[in-house]
Amino acid sequence: MQTYDLSTGSLRELNATLHAQNETTNQTAWEIMNPRGAHAIACGLDSPIEVTVCGSTGYYSAGMNQQATVNIKGSAGPGVAENMMSGKVIIDGDASQYAGATGHGGLLVVKGNASSRCGISMKGINIVVHGNIGHMSAFMAQSGNMVVCGDAGEALGDSCYEARLFVRGSVKSLGADCEEKEMRPEHLEILQTLLTEGECDAKPEEFKRYGSARTLYNFNIDNAY
């Protein structure tokens, strides 16, 4: 286990060190001490390493992650795992706004709650939130799966495209062009896989599925408001 202490080292040195790891590195396990809410911790990683952040982080931790597994042992600030391509990001606490924004792949797990705009413009990422999510989540969500074990705030899935949204609890309101969809066997399978990977013991049958009604896919005067 490699340890890096941000109370004595710099963010630049930390990220440069993590970026220098390649597919064949022997230094596969990293522990980051004293993050103290710093921004951009462990962003831009691109190797199969495991990074544990011992505390809470600021903006954009694990941003654009590829291959790596990043575990934040605290809460994460806005934009955690934004534009993630692959790998896994786990937050033991809560996540602030825009968690997993525009993510193309990989798995984001929030063991607490996620704030507003979770999964905004998601493009293939899978997101599992053990708690609740805030308003305008999955806005313009293009593809991927979002699993919410608690409740969803206002305007879920507004203007979404082909992303699948699974919510176990209540949905305060659905956004424009988002509707409840039929839960088919293949969706239950996807859910079970994600719940297992996300270390959540909820049952797929307890969820409802939401997605695009596809009425905004082409410009039409009746869509304008």
Partner 1 sequence: MSNDDSGIPRTTPRQSATFSQDVNSEIRRAAATGIYDIRGGGAKRKLPTFDDLLFLGASISRYPLEGYREKCDTNVTIGGLNASNPIHLDIPITIAGMSFGALSGPAKEALGRGASEAGTSTTTGDGGMTHEERGHSSKLVYQYLPSRYGMNPNDLRKADAIEIVVGQGAKPGGGGMLLGQKISDRVADMRNLPKGIDQRSACRHPDWTGPDDLEIKILELREITGWKVPIYVKVAGARPYYDVTLAVKAGADAIVLDGMQGGTAATQDVFIEHVGQPTLAIIRPAVKALQDLGMHRKVQLILSGGIRTGADVAKAMALGADAVAIGSAALIALGDNDPKWEAEYNKLGTTAGAYDDWHEGKDPAGITTQDPELMKRFDPLEGGRRLRNYLKVMTLEAQTIARACGKNHLHNLEPEDLVALTMEAAAMAQVPLAGTDWWPGKTSSF
Among residue numbers 157 through 186, which ones bind partner 1 (CB under 8 A)?
A: 159, 161-162
Task: From 89, 178, 94, 153, select the one nearest 126 (Cα to Cα).
Answer: 89
Contact with partner 1 (CB under 8 A): which of 53, 120, 147, 165?
120
Residue 218 in the binding site for partner 1 (CB under 8 A): yes
Q: How far is the CB of 27 from partner 1 (least distance, A)?
A: 19
Task: Spell out, one character per residue from 21 to 60, where the chain touches partner 1: x when CB under 8 A holds, - when not.
Answer: ------------------xx--xx-x-----------xxx
Among residue numbers 69 through 98, which ones bind partner 1 (CB under 8 A)?
A: 78-79, 82-83, 85, 97-98
Residues 48 and 27 sit within 8 Å (Cβ to Cβ): no
Residue 106 in the binding site for partner 1 (CB under 8 A): no
Contact with partner 1 (CB under 8 A): which of 2, 9, 17, 19?
19
Strands 164-167 and 29-33, bridge-based pairing: unpaired
Range in contact with partner 1 (rule: CB under 8 A) among 25-33, 126-134, 138-146, 164-172: 138-146
Residue 124 in the binding site for partner 1 (CB under 8 A): yes
Q: How far is the CB of 205 from partner 1 (least distance, A)?
A: 29
Residue 7 in the binding site for partner 1 (CB under 8 A): no
For residues 124 and 204, which CB has a smaller minimum distance to partner 1 in the complex? 124
What is each CA distance from 196 to 140, 147, 152, 200, in whole angstroms? 27, 12, 21, 6
Distance CA 60, CA 45 (A): 12
Residue 220 in the binding site for partner 1 (CB under 8 A): yes
Residue 155 in the binding site for partner 1 (CB under 8 A): no
Residue 225 in the binding site for partner 1 (CB under 8 A): no
Neighbour tally for 28: CB within 10 Å: 15
Residues that bind partner 1 (CB under 8 A): 11-12, 15-16, 19, 39-40, 43-44, 46, 58-60, 63-64, 66, 78-79, 82-83, 85, 97-98, 101-102, 104, 117, 120-121, 123-124, 139-140, 142-143, 159, 161-162, 217-221, 224
